Amino acid sequence: MKRLGVGGWIILALAAVYFIGPLVLTVIFSLWEGRGHYGISAYVTLLQRPNIVRSLVVSVELALATCAALVVLLVPAMVFMNLYAPRLRPLFEFIAALPFVVPAIALVAGLSALFSGPEWLIGTPFYLVIPYFFLALPYAYRAIDVGIRAIDLTTLTEAGQSLGADMGQIIRLIVLPNLRTALVGSTLLTLAVVMGEFTFANVLLFHTFAVLINEVGQNAPTEAAALSTLSFLITWLAMAGVLLAGRRGGVQLSGAR
């Protein structure tokens, strides 16, 4: 491999400053106690807040529920489209890109007008899974699409059918395990999207983690910085966990040697 030249190092250093700089400054600011003192008092106050754990749990639950909804709805839909209606691909691509062009605030308005029930859903934060599904759709679609293109879906499905398996068994036993890497990718992106989502939760008056960060930031800036640092760590740990889980017993998709 060629060694990195001076120019390369400079670019790397600039990129590092650009990405890591704000993070480091946030951490330093979160430790500031005023008048040149530094300590962890912001973290202590933060963790003593009554609703922090609750909002964190809500956000994580929402992220997981969104991931589950994507696996249950999106994966079979994409499998069937690829197998039986490949002509619909442009339509799928279009729909998957839509959430990028529709502003969040418009989505909220549309959503509240469209879904007025059922009672057990709209009263709980899980109502947010519906908009989050659409928010995460472009990322999840892209990740799963790459995964499906990497396997010979038609042949694997026909092989399964000729061995007597029904479509449910084929998806559960053959397709999903071979989309593992793609599903890990889609889960990571969904986690990141949902954990940081503010507009929907705020407008619909649900107390998620991102809403809490905003709330704290308005009256206690160092605490908000501490919270951002924590949220960064939690998200990062979650992603590392998903990555590790995906790698263990991961499937290699190379062909014959």
Work out which of 54, 180, 196, 239 binds another protein, going by CB under 8 A: 180
Residue 99 or 160: which CB sits closer to another protein?
160
Work out which of 48, 116, 162, 218 binds another protein, going by CB under 8 A: 162
Give the binding range for another protein (CB under 8 A) out of 18-26, 162-170, 192-200, 214-222.
162-170
Helix (H, G, I), strand (E, B) or coil at 177: helix
Give the binding range for another protein (CB under 8 A) out of 37-45, 61-69, 166-174, 216-224.
166-174
**Residues contacting another protein: total by CB under 8 A:** 26
Report the amino acid identity of residue 91: L
16 touches another protein by CB under 8 A: no
* Footprint on residues 48-107 left by another protein (CB under 8 A): none
CA distance 214 to 58: 16
Work out which of 48, 116, 155, 219 binds another protein, going by CB under 8 A: 155
* Footprint on residues 124-153 left by another protein (CB under 8 A): 151-152
The number of helix segments (H) and strand segments (E) in the chain equals: 15, 2
Q: What is the per-residue burial (b if ≥16 Cβ within 10 Å, else e) of 224-250?
A: bbbbbbbbeeebeebbeebeeebeeee
- Burial class from Cβ neighbours inside 10 Å (0-12, 13-18, 19+) for residue 2 reads exposed
CA distance 82 to 100: 23
How many residues are given for the chain?
Answer: 257
The Cβ of residue 94 has, within 10 Å, a number of other Cβ atoms equal to: 9
251 touches another protein by CB under 8 A: yes
6 touches another protein by CB under 8 A: no
Per-residue DSSP letter, 36: T
Shortest distance (Å) from residue 244 CB to another protein:
18
Work out which of 39, 103, 123, 177 binds another protein, going by CB under 8 A: 177
- Binding stretches for another protein (CB under 8 A): 151-152, 155-156, 158-166, 169, 173-174, 177-178, 180, 251-257
